[in-house]
Amino acid sequence: MQYTIQSIATARNNRQMLKDDHCGEIISTIELADHIQEASLKGIEDFSHLEIIFYFDKVSDDQIQYETRHPRNNHDYPEVGIFAQRGKNRPNKLGSTIVALLEVKSRGLIVQGLDAIDGTPILDIKPVMKEFLPKEDVKQPAWSIDLMKAYWA
């Protein structure tokens, strides 16, 4: 099946190139697209965090990963499939990040911790509710903990 999705906003920040680490301090503005009403943000200020779904529009089709690979091409990490990692070269080019909501503007949001570059199309914005977060401890392999140690630093 094929679907058509229209972006609802655009990320604005000072990141021109995607980098794998140090995303935690990045401040971004999420600017609503012209066809999205300002009223769509009503009540969002009552949430501390948002989940941002975005599109890796700079990833070309020939960069898509279908086989296994070493995360970040680091051979110290095991070969795993694209669905066992959060790399950008995904079949549908979708990214998802939970950000801190700092401020609500008339047609935009100021957020911290969005790991997307300037101009990235935003596909959806969802409030983070603790009831949707895991109730149990999160399990993950040691290589992923090592990979992420500087990601938000």
DSSP 10-73: EEESS--S--SS--TT-EEEEEEPTTS-GGGGTTGGG-SEEEEEEE-TTS-GGG---S-B-GGG
Rounded to 5 degrees, φ, ψ at 83 are -85, 0
H or E segment to which residue 103 belongs = strand 94-105
Name residue 51's beta-bridge partners. 98, 126
Q: How confident is the model at residue 34 (pLDDT cuts 50, 70, 90)?
A: very high
Over residues 6-21, the mean pLDDT reads 84
Q: What is the pLDDT of residue 149?
A: 81
Q: What is the pLDDT of residue 134?
A: 93
Instruction: Tell me the average pLDDT across 143-152.
Output: 80
Q: How far apart are CA 99 and CA 111, in angstroms?
A: 6
Let me know the angle formed at the C-alpha of 76 by 72 and 82, rounded to the nearest 5 degrees.
Answer: 40
* Stronger pLDDT, 52 or 20, i.e. the higher one: 52
pTM score, whole prediction = 0.91
Residue 100: both structure tokens together: 């801190």
**Phi, psi dihedrals of residue 44, rounded to the nearest 5°:** -65, -25
Q: Specify the pLDDT at position 152.
A: 61
Nearest Cα to Cα of residue 99 among 48, 42, 149: 48
State the burial class of residue 124 (Cβ atoms within 10 Å of its Cβ: 0-12, 13-18, 19+): middle
Residue 89 has pLDDT above 60, yes or no: yes
- Mean pLDDT calculated for residue range 69-98: 92
Mean pLDDT across the stretch 5-13?
A: 97
Per-residue model confidence (pLDDT) at position 15: 83
Q: What is the pLDDT of residue 20?
A: 63
